[in-house]
């Protein structure tokens, strides 16, 4: 299986897109109403009938676009081969793993913004306008935080990336703060204009509310799938950390950024999420690390067995929804 996705023939993309569609079919049949996270300024409208079908299809297309961008980032940064589709396959598998992931959800949009955020972090050492990159990266986080407020904590990842890339000009940090706060300025004006400042202040109080209790409400199959993904991510993290000194300087810096991003995004999703869909934001760093590990492995058979098992379990997990 890993050997199959080491190339970028059209058939590889068709196979991955078909796999994604198979995982999303139960969602298109049931059309469940999504659960908006409590920690948000922007509440996505609730649709029903044909409108919900349309926006579910749009969410599916957005997820595939995110997978394509993630694969391109992995390729450009040297995590996978130049003509590999391993990153595409791993992201589609991870982002469809739990039963609630393939759905019309704010976290689908957040993942798309996350890949753009990571792309900007990787471009910092190559840019002559690092101040603008810092502003744009922070602006992306600011917009994302309107959908899930605890994302603001990830500004620390941007500051760490500036340190790693030795772009420590104070103007870059100031620009990042301005970029992060810009969406909130317009949001504040909106709440102020409609005399709803109490709601604006109340939303920020959620930054101090820790509620990991939703992790205790999973079904057994969800726990099993999540455990397998956690083991794959842990192994990939340890391998990446152990081989950092063997990488060229850009790969080493980019891997360090992804490791920090995984650490902070895991903390945010676990502590501040309200539903299991919050775990969807772990897919980007996990997929990048796991695809990098799979690309470099010399013993493909054990990983092939684990991935095939995971594919089957995810398939069962989604189609069980049609029987309940």
At 233 the pLDDT is 93
In whole angstroms, give the CA distance from residue 114 to residue 294. Answer: 22
Residue 21: which region, alpha, beta or left (left: phi > 0; alpha: psi -120 to 50)? alpha
- pLDDT band, very low/low/confident/very high, at 203 (cuts 50, 70, 90): confident
Higher pLDDT pick, 140 / 103: 140
How many other C-beta atoms are found inside a 10 Å radius of the C-beta of residue 42? Answer: 14
Average pLDDT over residues 62-77: 91
pLDDT attached to residue 39: 60
11 is written with which tokens?
A: 């058939």
Per-residue confidence (pLDDT) for residue 111, from 0 to 100: 93
Distance CA 104, CA 54 (A): 10
- Count of domains observed in the chain: 1
> What's the pLDDT band for 245 if we cut at 50, 70, 90?
confident
Q: What is the CA radius of gyration of the chain?
A: 20
244 Cβ partners below 8 Å, 6+ apart? 252, 255, 256
| CA nearest neighbour of 294 among 62, 60, 88, 38 | 88
Q: What sign does the CA torsion over 110, 112, 113, 114 have?
A: positive
Over range 62-78, report the average pLDDT: 91
| pLDDT (tens digit per residue) in 134-154 | 999 999 999 998 888 889 999
Range of the domain at 17: 4-322
Whether the per-residue pLDDT at 47 is higher than 70: the answer is: no
Q: Out of 26-35, 223-232, 253-262, pick the least confident.
A: 26-35
Chain CA centroid to CA 190, Å: 29
Contact 182, 142 (CB under 8 A): yes
pLDDT at residue 241, rounded to an integer: 87
Q: Say how far apart CA 202 and CA 44 lie, in whole Å.
A: 19
**Are 141 and 261 a contacting pair, CB within 8 Å?**
no
């Amino acid at each position: 299986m890993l050997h199959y996705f080491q190339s970028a023939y059209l058939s590889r993309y068709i196979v991955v897109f078909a796999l994604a569609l198979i995982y999303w079919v139960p969602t298109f049949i049931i059309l469940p109403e999504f659960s908006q996270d409590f920690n948000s300024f922007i509440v996505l409208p609730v649709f029903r009938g044909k409108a919900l079908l349309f926006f579910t299809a749009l969410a599916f297309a957005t997820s595939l676009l995110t997978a394509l961008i993630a694969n391109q980032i992995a390729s450009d940064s040297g995590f996978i081969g130049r003509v590999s589709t391993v990153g595409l396959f791993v992201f589609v598998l991870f982002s469809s793993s739990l039963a609630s992931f393939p759905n019309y959800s704010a976290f689908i949009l957040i993942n798309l913004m996350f890949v753009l955020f990571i792309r900007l972090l990787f471009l910092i050492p190559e840019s002559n306008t690092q101040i603008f990159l810092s502003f744009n990266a922070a602006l992306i986080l600011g917009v994302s935080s309107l959908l899930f407020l605890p994302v603001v904590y990830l500004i620390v990842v941007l500051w760490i990336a500036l340190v790693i890339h030795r772009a420590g000009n104070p103007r870059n940090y100031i620009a990042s703060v301005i970029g992060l706060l810009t969406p909130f300025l317009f949001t504040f004006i909106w709440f102020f204009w409609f005399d709803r400042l109490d709601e604006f202040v109340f939303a920020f109080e959620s930054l101090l509310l820790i509620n990991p209790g939703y992790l205790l409400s999973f079904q057994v199959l969800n726990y099993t799938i999540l455990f397998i993904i956690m083991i794959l991510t842990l192994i990939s993290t340890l391998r990446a950390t152990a081989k950092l000194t063997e990488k060229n300087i850009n790969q080493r810096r980019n891997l360090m950024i992804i490791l920090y991003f995984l650490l902070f995004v895991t903390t945010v999703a676990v502590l501040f999420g309200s539903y299991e869909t919050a775990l969807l934001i772990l897919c980007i760093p996990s997929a990048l690390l796991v695809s990098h590990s799979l690309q470099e492995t010399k013993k493909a058979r054990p990983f092939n067995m684990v991935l095939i098992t995971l594919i089957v379990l995810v398939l069962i997990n989604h189609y069980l929804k049609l029987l309940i």
